[in-house]
Amino acid sequence: MLDEAWTQLVDESGGTWPPSPSRQFPSPLDKLHELALEAPNVFSRPDYASMKHDDIKANRAWLVERLQPTDEVLTALRSLNQHQILGMAACMSTLAHMYRWGSVPTLTAAQEEKRNHLPNMILAAQMYLNGRLGIRSTGGTITTLSLCNYDRERDVIYYSMTKNFTPDIIAAELWNAKLFHEMERIAEPFYRSVVQLADDVIGRGKDSTALEEGNEAIRQAFAYFYKYLKEPTVSKAVWSRYAQGFHGWSWDGFEGVSGDQAVMVRVMDALLGIPPTSPPTHLTKGQRDFVDTLRTANIRQRAVAEGFPLATKSINDTLRMLKTWRMGHVKKACFYEDIHLPERKPMSGGKGTDADLGLEGMVARIQMRLQTRTALTR
Ligand code: HEM
């Protein structure tokens, strides 16, 4: 059962983990791909301080003019293989966020809009692609905007919104996705070891050391996080305004990209029986099914109940690493969010309706939420 869920997750990701998107598309999707590559030349503006709502409207009009007929787009989408679906999901999510925010960095004027309707073509394509992947949102997610948008070969963000900005801004956007991608890549043996652990403990009713290898992978993934999530790799002065805002700030009731969609952390929580942070709206079907199947298997309880010392010890080692990481992450999260951004409005952020509490209140609320997660990690 868990092995089947893992196979499905990997199939959905194009046969690899993390996912392997393709950037070769049939017409007219190739035109949308070119559009997403070209758009930052119009949308990303160093002179944003002087920009007004009319500039946002002009950018959107420029984008809409270059969209393609909806029926042709849908016909082409139906012909894609899984690698192309993943690549298009990155492209279309970028176009959706571009239309929504109308500029990079995002402006107060865009945040003040109460509702925003995506053009039919973008909405239809997003619904098709997110539907194919089982994502229950109209926006971008860690999978589409981060995992599928990082080009490991060239070490760049494929559909970058910052390519015309200064190196610190480009780096913040890069690392905002690269961290998630690379941590998943490093952590990949963890997933396979969890499948083996389930097979040993549940399937064969025997003790297991399978998780030891997975724990080593997790240790390395967290070491990567500690090594790179800091100044100057990720500059606090620019991270939220130029990288997180465009990806993460929400609309129409959906949040955008949030760390709590990180699959490895969701899987660790499921293994340990820790309640999920939020509904799995932004996970793909394969990710959601894997997490659910693992949670239902109750491996931790079974290992203790059956008196399997080796499995129990390795599960406790996973717990210790996750708890230590969460304690470190609270500090990182508060450090990076603790910056005055006039454009950060109540509607923005994953659960960031707290921007109306003022900066101190908002950071205190984030700290409280993350400390609660840390306390639940037991
Ligand atoms: C780019 C640097 C990062 C910053 C500044 C950051 C910041 C934050 C913030 C502010 C939250 C709280 C959201 C809320 O409750 O409203 C959060 C949550 C979370 N982040 Fe990050 N994050 C970063 C990178 C990562 C990475 C690389 C991971 C993946 C492993 C991650 C995993 C999580 C998880 C799992 C949560 C949900 C809370 C929990 O389960 O403990 N974050 N992050």
With H, G, I as helix, E, B as strand and everything else as coil, classify residue 252.
coil
Question: Which residue, 116, 60, 97, 108, is CA-closest to 252?
Answer: 116
Share of the chain above pLDDT 90, in %: 81
Residue 179 CA: nearest ligand 1 atom is: 27
The answer for residues whose C-beta is within 8 angstroms of residue 191's C-beta and 6 or more apart is 6, 9, 17, 214, 267, 290
Q: Check if the beta carbon of residue 306 is closer than 8 Å to that of residue 201.
A: yes
CB 222 near ligand 1, within 6 Å: no
Nearest atom of ligand 1 to the alpha carbon of 225: 27
- Per-residue pLDDT at 137 exceeds 70: yes
CB neighbour class for 256 (10 Å; exposed up to 12, middle 13-18, buried from 19): buried
**Amino acid 279: pLDDT:** 87
Torsion sign, CA atoms 11, 15, 20, 23: negative
Average pLDDT of the segment spanning 263-280: 95
Å from CA of 53 to ligand 1 middle: 31
Element (H, E) at 151: strand 150-151
| pLDDT tens column, 97-119 | 999 999 999 888 888 887 778 99
Place of tokens 């969010």: 337
User: What confidence category does residue 91 fall into, taking pLDDT thresholds of 50, 70 and 90?
Assistant: very high
> Which residue, by CA, sits nearest to atom 25 of ligand 1?
259
For ligand 1, atom 9, the nearest C-alpha belongs to 333
Burial class (CB in 10 A: 0-12, 13-18, 19+), 221: buried
Q: Whose CA is nearest to atom 40 of ligand 1?
A: 260
**Beta partners for residue 44, in sequence order:** 104
Alpha carbons 83 and 94: distance in angstroms, whole number: 17
- Any bridge partners for residue 230, and if so which? none
d(CA 19, CA 22) in angstroms, rounded, equals 10
CA 3 to chain centre: 24
Average pLDDT over residues 347-366: 73
Whether 348 is in the pocket of ligand 1, judged by its Cβ within 6 Å, is: no
Indicate whether residue 179 lines ligand 1 (CB < 6 A).
yes
Residue percentage of the chain with pLDDT more than 70: 97
d(CA 257, CA 246): 9
Average pLDDT across the chain, whole number? 93
Instruction: Tell me if 88 sits within 8 A of 29, measured CB to CB.
Output: yes
Residue 370 has pLDDT above 90, yes or no: yes
One of 3.30.70.330, 3.40.50.12780, 3.30.465.10, 1.20.58.480 is the CATH number of 167-376, namely: 1.20.58.480
**pLDDT tens-place string over residues 160-203:** 999 889 999 999 999 999 999 999 999 999 999 999 999 999 99
Q: Is the pLDDT of residue 40 over 50?
A: yes
**pLDDT, mean of residues 52-73:** 96
Above 50 in pLDDT, residue 269? yes
What per-residue confidence (pLDDT) applies to 211?
98
Report, as an integer, the average pLDDT of 46-62: 91
Query: Where along the chain do its domains lie?
Result: 19-139, 167-376
Return the pLDDT at 183: 98
Q: Is 173 in the pocket of ligand 1 (CB under 6 A)?
A: no
**Alpha-carbon distance values, 226 to 146, 179, 219, 327 (Å):** 19, 10, 11, 12
In sequence order, what are the beta bridge partners of 254?
Answer: 251
Distance in Å, CA 326 to ligand 1 centroid:
9
| Residues whose CB is less than 8 angstroms from the CB of residue 276 and which lie 6 or more positions away in sequence, other chains included | 266, 269, 270, 291
- 157: Cβ below 6 Å to ligand 1? no
Q: Output DSSP code: residue 273.
A: T
What is the per-residue pLDDT across 214-256, written as a single tens digit (0 to 9) for each? 999 999 999 999 999 999 999 999 999 999 889 987 777 778 8
Region 20-38: what's the mean pLDDT?
Answer: 98
**370 Cα distance to chain centroid:** 18
* Highest mean pLDDT: which range of 243-252, 309-318, 330-339: 309-318
Distance 272 CA to ligand 1 centre (A): 19
Q: What band does 349 get if pLDDT is binned at 50, 70 and 90?
A: very low
Q: What is the pLDDT of residue 350?
A: 52
Distance CA 220, CA 223 (A): 5
Q: What is the mean pLDDT of residues 303-308?
A: 97
Reference 126, options 90, 84, 72; nearest CA is 90
Residue nearest to atom 32 of ligand 1 (CA): 259
Expressed in angstroms and rounded, the spacing between residue 113 Cα and the centre of ligand 1 is 26
Least confident of 59-68, 89-98, 290-299, 342-351: 342-351
Please indicate whether residue 333, judged by its CB atom, sits closer than 6 Å to ligand 1. Answer: yes
Give the H/E segment covering residue 150.
Answer: strand 150-151
